[in-house]
Chains A and B, each alone.
Chain A
Amino acid sequence: MPKDIIKALAKFELLGMVIDPEYGGLGTDVVTAGIAAEELARADLSCSIPVLFLVGTSWGHVIDKYGTEEAKKEIFSKSIKGEQIIGIATTESDTGSDLGNMKTKITKKGDKYVVNGEKMYISGVAEAMEYGGGHVTLARMKPELGTRGMNMFYLPLKDTPGITPTYVEDIGREAISCGGFDINNVEIPKHYLLGEENKGFYYIHEGYELARGLIALVCAGAASKALENGIAYIKERKAFGRHIGKYEGIQFKLAEHHVKIQALRQLGYKALWTYDQEIQGKASRFEVSMAIAMAKSVAPFWARDAIDDVMQWQGAFGYTKECEDQKAWRAVRSFTLAEGSSEIMKLIIARELLGKEFLAYR
């Protein structure tokens, strides 16, 4: 992503919204960040800028909550000004949803940690390598303890000996890079550990849940803008002697998508409101997980279906790269996978409905 876009986000003070004002943030609630996410998606249908925003917001929040004073001052002094980025890197080549079986290891060496492994399908690798910044990362400290033996830490990428980046090309979200990196005997200072040792697996979900709530609103933003584009089109385009917006076949779809997008906004804002309530001690983590999973489980599908029909209404033009809406179509597809797959969202909902004794993979 061009740096001037990141600097522009900083100028509008969008890169530290939920961060404590003591570190240069605005200290807003996450619902307000959701409004920004939705609006950014309406403006950038490729959802590249919204992804940079939601990742930085979610893991900025985690760093703010669990980071050491030294790390927070160091990281936020640059990330909020758009001089560096904050990302998330937990996925590996063969472990995405199954985080508990990741292979990357972290060991203690004096007053430092040493990390070995690899991360893959990570957003913002090129930006972190070029501009600076790093990714909130998860690695095994005590493999024998499974998910109870993982550390969450901040891993800077630029000029870090032992980091070797690789890149892959996404089918959408083209303005933000995707890739991975090998981690070969990378030493990180102790103050980059986030929270307590061995509790990283639990902390990381707080970032994921915030990101998922924001994604629901990114999907709503992109779909609502596409639907507006579609409305303008069907009011202009004529077929068989009348505007195609006069045909029931179009109107029924339009009405259904409108209802779903509005319902998605309600689900998304309810989810983020519940997250805010939990921060204030007025809701449980389980309530947050349920509300977030509900919104995220349907968001990319409802958005994709709406955008798909908008493209269909536009005929052959809808399938060209001249059509703006195809960017959104390719972008929202990513959110059935990113930050927790749709299948995992359904498992969370079922877990909350049935109880932990019905956990599918235990």
Chain B
Amino acid sequence: MKFIVCIKQVPDTTEVKVDPKTHTLIREGVPSILNPYDQFAVEECVRIREEIGEGSISVITMGPPQARSALMRCLAHGADEAILISDKAFAGSDTWATAYTLSHAIKKIGSFDMVFCGQQAIDGDTAQVGPEIAQQLGIPQITYVEKVSLDKTHKLTIHKQTDGGDQILEAKLPILLALLPPSSFQPEHPPMSSILKAKRKPFNIWDANILGGDKSKFGLDGSFTQVIKTYTPPSRGECEMIEDDPKEAAKKLSKILCKNEALAKR
């Protein structure tokens, strides 16, 4: 069995502040962390590999050289090999160009059975890269995956979160799964021996030349969209909280709406 996990290093959004004048994010001095959704994906992948007792795990990311630390953490969690796809040519990639780059790297790794992604990254929250990788690899995908079971005959059972409840699905390999950690998920901190072992595991850095592929599809050139500005909309006025039982709260709310002419009086 060959497992591949795609991860991303992100700014710790709990530490991100907004510039009150420009409403843009202040990224300066904000620590970088492994995207928590991806950490869940790595931990699930390692757990499955341990349960079936076979397989190797490659973890890949596209990012600047400092993304190494996120990959090292994945190696400490139990991945066998890390690949950092890093080159200025990849700068400015939107989700499609990112997915193209990652899918190309996956093809370069060779044959695979399962690709794990986090459902989304906490910085962009697009949830697009996983499905786009599946599309570019031409394999099926399941998103909103909360639990993965794989038995020794490689029968795959998935618990997928939906608005109407959980779906239990069976699927064939190869497949891409986008994982969403349940609310009970507590990220594990790897023990010291695993951190030390991680240093001895294969760590590869692929630039655009090593990766190969169509360079016009990398970075800004390969992106259909561009982020012009990231900002938090300014507050639009005062907020009044109505704390009461639902019936009384509804009455108070309707009065306020009528008073403010948001609703026409009957």
Contacts of A231 in B (CB 8 A): 29
B193 contacts chain A at the CB level, 8 A cutoff: yes
Interface residues of A toward B: which range?
10 to 19
User: CA–CA, A13 to B191, complex, Å?
Assistant: 6
Residues of A within 8 A of B29 (CB): 231
Measured CB to CB, the closest approach of chain B to A18, in angstroms, equals 11
Cβ of A136 to closest chain B Cβ, rounded Å: 23
- Kindly state the separation between the CA atoms of A26 and B193 in the bound complex, as whole angstroms: 7
B196 within 8 A of A: yes
Interface contact A12-B196, CB-CB below 8 Å: no
| Interface-central residue, A13, A14, A36, A231, by most chain B CB under 10 Å | A13
B191 nearest in chain A by CB position: A13
Chain A residues whose C-beta falls within 8 Å of the C-beta of B196 in the assembled complex = 26, 28, 32
A11 at the binding interface (Cβ < 8 Å): yes
Q: How far does the Cβ of B226 sit from chain A's closest Cβ, in whole Å? A: 31
Q: What are the interface flags for A17-56 relative to B under an 8 Å C-beta threshold, 1 for contact and 0 otherwise?
A: 1000000001010001000100000000000000000000
Q: For chain A, what secondary structure do more than half of its interface residues adopt (helix, strand, loop), or is it mixed? A: loop
B residues in contact with A17, CB < 8 Å: 192
Q: Does B236 contact A (CB under 8 A)?
A: no
Is the CB of B152 closer than 8 A to any CB of chain A? Answer: no
Tell me the nearest residue of chain B to A8, going by C-beta: B189
CA distance A26 to B192 in the complex (A): 8
The chain B residue sitting closest to A11, CB to CB, is B191
Binary contact track B190-201/A, C-beta < 8 Å → 1, others 0: 011100100000
Question: Whole-angstrom distance from the CB of A248 to the nearest CB of chain B?
Answer: 21
User: What is the CB-to-nearest-CB distance from B199 to chain A, in angstroms, rounded to a whole number?
Assistant: 10
Distance from B223 Cβ to chain A, minimum over Cβ atoms (Å): 34
**What are the residues of chain A within 8 A of B189 when measuring CB–CB?**
12
B234 to chain A, nearest CB (A): 20
Interface residues of B in 175-203 (CB under 8 A from A): 189, 191-193, 196
Chain A: CB-nearest residue to B15? A232
Chain A residues lying within 8 Å of B191, measured Cβ to Cβ, are: 11-13
Residue of B nearest to A17 (CB): B192
**How far is it, in angstroms, between the C-alpha of A17 and the C-alpha of B195 when the chains are bound?**
12
A217-233 interface bits toward B, Cβ cutoff 8 Å, 1 = contact, 0 = none:
00000000000000100
Within B27-42, which residues are at the interface with A (CB < 8 Å)?
29
Give chain B residues whose Cβ lies under 8 Å from the Cβ of A13: 191-193
Nearest A residue (CB) for B194:
A13
CA distance A32 to B196 in the complex (A): 9
A35 to B30, CA, bound (A): 22
Shortest A60–chain B CB gap in Å is 14
Q: How far is the CA of A179 from the CA of B204 in the complex (A)?
A: 52
Closest-CB distance, B16 to chain A (whole angstroms): 13
A157 CB to nearest B CB, Å: 27
Report how far A11 CA is from B192 CA in the complex, Å.
9
- CA of A174 to CA of B192, assembled, Å: 26
Measured CA separation A14–B193 after assembly (Å)? 9
Residues of B within 8 A of A14 (CB): 192
Q: How far is the CB of B244 from chain A (nearest CB, A)?
A: 35
Q: How far is the CA of A210 from the CA of B186 in the complex (A)?
A: 35
Q: Shortest distance in angstroms between B48's beta carbon and chain A's nearest beta carbon? A: 23
Cα A182 to Cα B148 with chains together (Å): 59
Query: Of residues A12, A32, A231, which shows the largest number of chain B Cβ atoms within 10 Å of its Cβ?
Result: A12
Question: With the chains together, A13 CA to B196 CA distance in Å?
Answer: 11
State A169–B100 Cα separation when bound (angstroms).
63
Query: Closest approach, in angstroms, between the C-beta of A80 and any C-beta of chain B?
Result: 11
Q: How far is the CA of A231 from the CA of B29 in the complex (A)?
A: 10
Q: How far is the CB of A194 from chain B (nearest CB, A)?
A: 26
B193: chain A residues within 8 A (beta carbon): 13, 26
Q: Report how far A26 CA is from B196 CA in the complex, Å.
A: 9
Contacts of B192 in A (CB 8 A): 12-14, 17, 26, 28, 36
Report how far A288 CA is from B29 CA in the complex, Å.
Answer: 36
Contacts of A28 in B (CB 8 A): 192, 196
Closest B residue to A236 by CB, please name it.
Answer: B17
Docked complex Cα distance between A28 and B193 (Å): 9
Of B29, B191, B193, most buried by chain A (CB within 10 Å of CB) is B193
Q: Given the complex of chains A and B, what is the CA–CA distance between A17 and B192 in angstroms?
A: 8
With both beta carbons as reference points, the residue of chain B lying nearest to A9 in the complex is identified as: B192
CA distance A32 to B193 in the complex (A): 11
A28 (CB) vs chain B CBs: closest residue: B196
Q: How far is the CA of A17 from the CA of B196 in the complex (A)?
A: 11
Residue pairs across A and B with Cβ atoms less than 8 A apart, 17 shown, are A11-B191, A12-B189, A12-B191, A12-B192, A13-B191, A13-B192, A13-B193, A14-B192, A17-B192, A26-B192, A26-B193, A26-B196, A28-B192, A28-B196, A32-B196, A36-B192, A231-B29
8 interchain residue pairs of minimum CB distance: A13-B192, A13-B191, A13-B193, A12-B191, A26-B193, A12-B192, A14-B192, A26-B192
| Other 14 A-B pairs with CB < 8 A, given A13-B191, A28-B196, A231-B29 | A11-B191, A12-B189, A12-B191, A12-B192, A13-B192, A13-B193, A14-B192, A17-B192, A26-B192, A26-B193, A26-B196, A28-B192, A32-B196, A36-B192
